[in-house]
């Protein structure tokens, strides 16, 4: 396991100073970053993992890309029997288009270590904590000149919890630019309504077209160097376009929840680690808010990409 870059036990006793919580415990994020997250629903923070961890994450992913060249359909198996590795329909041996690796925590020590015990975990605890659970993890990849797109959606309707203190951490394994299909988010949309991800009674994993023009007008890209992470509130509207560039865009995506947020539906990307406390302790209580939402549908295939494409 990686050494734990965690200053939580370092109590200096100075209250409210930048870098300290009101209880005097060292934090990974500044007051300013936490305020920005509350206002916009997203922040990008650099150096979320060590350079060594980043190198290992990338090397492991490169190995998976090499393996993918031998496949012409989704393959491997996660704990519910569905495929772990999902490929786009432009995939070919000489043009790999591996778009998703589900629950990499279950097959790679470095992916587990980064999700459960890294500076990224500390930062997530500053936004949700002190008690935080792991919910699920996946890699979303857009290799050079590949056509994977993500339609506009919110994450909470996929993974409703009793309260909405849940977030998605998207760690940049490669530099993300405006050219290689960055995540686009609508700042402040987490303070708006929960939107339906059903059309004509079918769970499409995307909002209806009536919202898209406004989202596109207000969207901003989440870009940054390799090793940065975008923390995104689970209600933020987001999407991304194809990667028409020569640079890969690979995101390691981990979803965390405040430990008193109880999941209300089965997770689409299951893992034996789901529900594991990664910071703080088991709270022994459930906090709930008042809301109504349609029950999400687990894709029959490898991932939500087929639901969004209307092919599940
Ligand atoms: O890969 C992306 O660009 C977005 C990821 C995302 O929205 C998701 O997996 O829910």
Q: Kindly state the DSSP code that residue 84 receives in the 8-state scheme.
A: S
For residue 69, is it within any domain? no
Write down the pLDDT at residue 147: 94
Write down the pLDDT at residue 184: 98
pTM above 0.95, yes or no: no
Q: Kindly state the DSSP code that residue 213 receives in the 8-state scheme.
A: H
For residue 79, is it within any domain? no
CATH at residue 259? 2.60.120.620
| H or E element at residue 258 | strand 249-258
For residue 64, is it within any domain? no
Radius of gyration of the chain measured on its C-alpha atoms: 19
CA distance 171 to 231: 9
Write down the pLDDT at residue 13: 25
Ligand 1 nearest atom to the CA of residue 158, by list position: 10
For residue 113, is it within any domain? yes
**Phi/psi of residue 161, nearest 5 degrees:** -125, 170
Indicate the burial class of 6 (C-beta count within 10 angstroms; 0-12, 13-18, 19 or more).
middle
For residue 118, is it within any domain? yes
For residue 155, is it within any domain? yes
Considering Cα of 102, then 108, then 112, then 118, what sign does the dihedral take?
negative
Ligand 1, residues at Cβ distance < 6 Å: 140, 150, 155, 183, 238, 240, 251, 253
Per-residue confidence band for 310, with pLDDT thresholds at 50, 70 and 90? confident
pLDDT of 8 above 80: no
> What's the mean pLDDT when you consider all of the chain?
92
Write down the pLDDT at residue 158: 96
Write down the pLDDT at residue 7: 24
Taking residues 255-281, report their average pLDDT.
Answer: 97
Q: How far is the CA of 149 from the centre of ligand 1 (A)?
A: 9
Give the burial string for 25-54 (b: 16+ CB within 10 Å, else e).
Answer: bebbbeeebbebbeebbbbbbeebbbeebb
Q: How far is the CA of 250 from the centre of ligand 1 (A)?
A: 11
Taking only the tens place, the pLDDT of each residue in 166-198 is: 999 999 999 999 999 999 999 999 999 999 999
Ligand 1 nearest atom to the CA of residue 304, by list position: 9
Relative orientation angle of helices 119-128 and 31-40, to the nearest 10 degrees = 60
For residue 238, is it within any domain? yes
Write down the pLDDT at residue 23: 56
Write down the pLDDT at residue 304: 85
Taking only the tens place, the pLDDT of each residue in 77-107 is: 999 999 999 999 999 999 999 999 999 999 9
Taking residues 196-222, report their average pLDDT.
Answer: 95
For residue 145, is it within any domain? yes
pLDDT of 4 above 70: no
Distances (CA, A) of 217 to 149, 158, 189, 221, 282: 18, 24, 13, 12, 42
Helix-strand-coil percent breakdown of the chain, rounded to 5? 20, 25, 55
Taking only the tens place, the pLDDT of each residue in 274-292 is: 999 999 999 999 999 999 9
Domain that holds residue 187: 88-308
Question: Cβ distance 153 to 206 under 8 Å?
Answer: yes
Among 86, 253, 256, say which to mutate for ligand 1: greatest number of ligand atoms within 8 Å of CB. 253
Taking residues 144-169, report their average pLDDT.
Answer: 97
Write down the pLDDT at residue 100: 97
Ligand 1 nearest atom to the CA of residue 153, by list position: 7
Ligand 1 nearest atom to the CA of residue 155, by list position: 10
DSSP string for 126-176 = HHH-SSEEEEEEEEEEE-TTB---EEEE-STTTS-BSSS-EEEEEEESS-B
Count of domains forming the chain: 1
Write down the pLDDT at residue 21: 57
Closest to 80 (Cα-Cα) out of 102, 111, 105: 102
CB neighbours of 252 closer than 8 A, spacing ≥ 6?
Answer: 57, 104, 111, 114, 137, 139, 170, 171, 173
Q: How far is the CA of 150 from the centre of ligand 1 (A)?
A: 6
Per-residue confidence band for 312, with pLDDT thresholds at 50, 70 and 90? confident
């Amino acid at each position: 396991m990686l050494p734990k870059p965690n200053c939580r036990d370092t109590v200096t006793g100075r209250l409210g100073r930048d870098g300290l919580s009101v209880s005097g415990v060292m934090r990974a994020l500044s007051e300013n970053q936490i305020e920005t997250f509350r206002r916009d629903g997203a922040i990008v923070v650099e150096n979320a993992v060590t350079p060594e961890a980043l190198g290992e994450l990338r090397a492991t992913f490169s190995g998976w890309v090499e393996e993918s060249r031998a496949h012409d359909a989704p393959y491997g198996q996660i704990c519910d029997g569905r495929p772990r590795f999902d490929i786009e329909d432009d995939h070919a041996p000489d043009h790999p288009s591996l778009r998703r690796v589900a629950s990499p925590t279950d097959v790679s020590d470095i992916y587990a270590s980064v999700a459960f015990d890294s500076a990224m975990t500390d930062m997530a605890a500053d936004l949700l904590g002190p008690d935080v659970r792991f919910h699920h993890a996946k890699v979303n990849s857009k290799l050079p000149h590949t056509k994977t797109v993500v339609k506009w959606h919110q994450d909470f309707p996929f993974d409703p919890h009793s309260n909405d203190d849940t977030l998605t951490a998207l760690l940049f394994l490669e530099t993300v630019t405006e050219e290689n299909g960055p995540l686009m988010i609508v700042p402040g949309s987490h303070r708006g309504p929960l939107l339906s991800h059903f059309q004509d009674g079918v769970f499409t994993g995307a909002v209806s077209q009536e919202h898209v023009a406004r989202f596109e007008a207000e969207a901003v890209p989440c870009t940054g160097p390799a090793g940065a992470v975008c923390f995104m509130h689970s209600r933020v509207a987001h999407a991304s376009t194809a990667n028409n560039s020569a640079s890969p865009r690979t995101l390691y995506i981990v979803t965390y929840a405040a430990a008193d947020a109880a999941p209300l539906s089965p997770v689409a990307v299951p893992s034996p680690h789901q529900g594991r406390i990664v910071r703080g302790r088991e709270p022994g209580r459930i906090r709930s808010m008042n809301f109504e939402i349609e029950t999400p549908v687990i894709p029959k295939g490898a991932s939500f990409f087929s639901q969004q494409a209307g092919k599940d």
